[in-house]
Amino acid sequence: MSGVNKNIVILISGSGSNMAAIVKAAQQHHWREQFGARVVAVISNKADAKGLVFAREQGMATAVVDHKAFDSREAFDAELMFAIDRHAPDLVVLAGFMRILTPGFVAHYAGRIINIHPSLLPAFPGLHTHQRAIDMGCQFAGATVHQVTSELDHGDILAQAVVPVLPSDTAQTLAERVLTQEHLIYPRAVERLLAAWS
């Protein structure tokens, strides 16, 4: 940790609803006063990500690193690391960031990069988690906050939330119910990390 100030950089690809939940929690729970922590930047791989608008409205630094502009995953990750490291991050938070990161990137932020995944890991890593849960006849689904490692959706679990799978559920309705829980557990998990580091 970089002394008193703990800088958080959040990566998004879309609406940034989890990012917004974390930013609001930081404000409401006074993370700066309690932990010396603040969200300093939001970075997206898509210029049209709606979450960037919210971040700018909050006065945070924003940046876009378009993955389509790079010939390889490694080249993209190198530029992304450059954009992140400008903000001297103590914690990198993946909030709907839809890119698989290279082992080199993950190693660079080892122990200080976390993600949220819309399933009860270790069940259903990867994509289409809600439809897979329905197809398998699961009675419960949920979300998991975890440390990021080089193995996809596999790091130590920091928090989980459980929701019932209803007989009438579609992937969309289940996703919406899980997302409301994500907005609760992700800020809490970040706050617990900050408290442990204080």
3-state secondary structure 93-106: EECCCCCCCCHHHH
* 3-class DSSP state of 59: coil
Q: Where are the beta strands (DSSP E) in 13-134?
A: 37-44, 61-64, 91-94, 113-117
- Pick the catalytic residue: 29, 108, 117, 130? 117
Rounded to whole angstroms, the Cα distance separating 164 from 59 reads 38
163 HSE (CA, 13 A, CB side): 24
Question: Residue written as tokens 């204080």?
Answer: 198
Active-site residue, 117 included: yes
Report, as residue numbers or ranges, the catalytic residues. 117
